[in-house]
Amino acid sequence: MAKRTRRGQKQCPKCQAWIKGTRTKTCSQCGHQFNGNQKQAPAPEPAAAPAEKKAGDTVTISQVKAVVQTAKAVGGFDRLSDLLGLIREIGGMKKFKDLLEAMTAA
């Protein structure tokens, strides 16, 4: 037997009465307690789709080598971290580059 549905209502399994409101907890006619959908097994969650890789997402060996060489030239990873913090404080790499050019021209 096909289950009938009405929009915004649900049917009591004991007295077959239609109850207004889909969130109602008890039947107003017979007092049946609705416990939710315990008969149905929860649907398995779909697996997360793999993130799309962009051209800039991968790190190459040459990039790692360049960072290591820069860290050595600056004086270690702590000083490189300080330099990156300074660049962030100034407002980005473009402003940092402009400041460096202004300092070397003087």
Residue pLDDT, tens place only, 6-44: 777 778 878 878 877 766 677 877 877 777 655 555 566
In the prediction, which pLDDT does 1 show? 47
3-class SS letters over the chain: CCCCCCCCEEECCCCCCEEECCCCCECCCCCCECCCCCCCCCCCCCCCCCCCCCCCCCCCHHHHHHHHHHHHHHCCHHHHHHHHHHHHHHCCHHHHHHHHHHHHHC
What pLDDT score does 7 carry?
74
Is 106 or 9 the better-scoring residue by pLDDT?
A: 9
Least confident of 12-16, 48-52, 64-68: 48-52
